[in-house]
Amino acid sequence: MSKTVLWAVCLIAAGQGPPPAAPSTPPRPRLSDSVYPAGVADEAAYVDYLAARTRSLIDAADAAAEPPAEARGRLAAANWILARQIEPAVSRVLLGIPAASDNEVIREGIARAARQLAAAESALARAPAAAAEVRRSADARDAPQPPLTEALQSTLTDLSAFADALAVAFSDEMGGNSEDRARAAASSLAILLEDERPGVAVCATLMQALLYHRAGQMDRTRTVLDLALQAVPGDAREVAFYSRLLRCRYLAEEGRFAVACSLLLKLEERCFEWFVSATDQAEAGYAATLVRRQTIQAWRDGHQGPEADAHRQWCDAAIARIEEALAGEPQPIRLMRLRSAVPYLLDVEAAFEQPSAGPDGP
């Protein structure tokens, strides 16, 4: 997003600028293509690439010779699924532009990751027996010993917390004990809010906010989320930016539409300070503009009272002007994506490089 367009949109929000053009149907915005590897040209091919990488990790875990190596492979596969394979669907849902199948894709991905986590737990349970067998073998006195499993067990615990959080946050279950499950899942993330590993605390914050919102605890949601205009941290900037968009959404849900729109306008400006590359600046700005347009639409649709007609006309004009301004930008509009829905908790890339690593593998 250029600064020229940003200032034009600011004037529009203030009721200035030329009258809007007749409403039109703009091209559907798309997620950023900056994550595509070489040879991947579009989102469908990217989804296929992610699925193929998942299969390679699971195949490597299936072929592992020792329980610790299998556990590491299972954890890598689960981490990849939760971080990368479901990310496109999670990004679209959080931006309010879900595809028809996105929620089902997320739930299926979480279930697949959960199966890998369960298999990792089983492999770790077998690891002590395997180590004892090595020690008993007269021919293996000088053989390398299986690595300690404490770090893998810790990774399993943390990945399971993220998997449970995602499963509850994107569950289609409503009522009953769903609110209790959301509170319990949020509590399991509490220790990760203090974690110093890159991206862990930032991702845990976003997940915990989604869970408290699902539990109907808006006071806790506001407490967890950073202030909308607080600078994004150096790690997981995209996730932190989504947290700020989420805070604005929740303000609008509480009826504070004007505050939400004002903050979103300021977020569009802050993109030029928080992000270094012109691509990131533009895509973050477009994401904030999209959420602001959605907020104005909700404000329009929910307004009641004697001035409802005039208010709806104002909202219609504001929406039309936003779309007119964006129509002059390069198409299709690309939106900032999460990149990773959860952080990497182990070296997943090393698992790709050494798919059949034995007990002395990385």
Parse the chain into domains and list their residue ranges.
Answer: 1-31+255-339, 43-131+149-236+342-362
Give the pLDDT mean for 260-280. Answer: 97
Rounded CA gap, 129 and 92, in Å?
Answer: 45
Averaged over 118-146, what is the pLDDT?
A: 65
Task: Give the pLDDT of residue 175.
Answer: 66
Q: What is the pLDDT of residues 27-82, one digit of tens each?
A: 689 999 999 999 999 999 999 999 999 999 999 999 998 999 999 999 999 999 99
Lowest mean pLDDT among 145-149, 161-165, 329-333: 145-149
Percent over 70 (pLDDT), the chain: 84
Provide the pLDDT confidence category of residue 358 given band limits of 50, 70 and 90. very low
Biggest CA pair distance of the chain: 90
pLDDT digits (tens, 9 = 90+) for 5-35: 554 444 344 444 444 444 455 568 999 999 9
Residue 147 contacts residue 68 (beta carbons within 8 Å): yes
Q: Which helix (H) or strand (E) holds 151?
A: helix 150-169
Helix (H, G, I), strand (E, B) or coil at 335: strand
Residue 148 DSSP symbol: P
pLDDT digits (tens, 9 = 90+) for 295-311: 999 999 987 777 888 99
H helix runs in the chain, sequence order = 3-13, 43-62, 67-80, 87-95, 102-136, 150-169, 178-188, 200-214, 218-224, 237-253, 257-274, 278-302, 308-327, 348-353
Res 315 pLDDT > 70: yes
Range in 23-37, 74-88, 109-123, 190-204 the model is least confident about: 23-37
Residue scoring higher pLDDT (104 or 22) = 104
Distance CA 231, CA 274 (A): 7
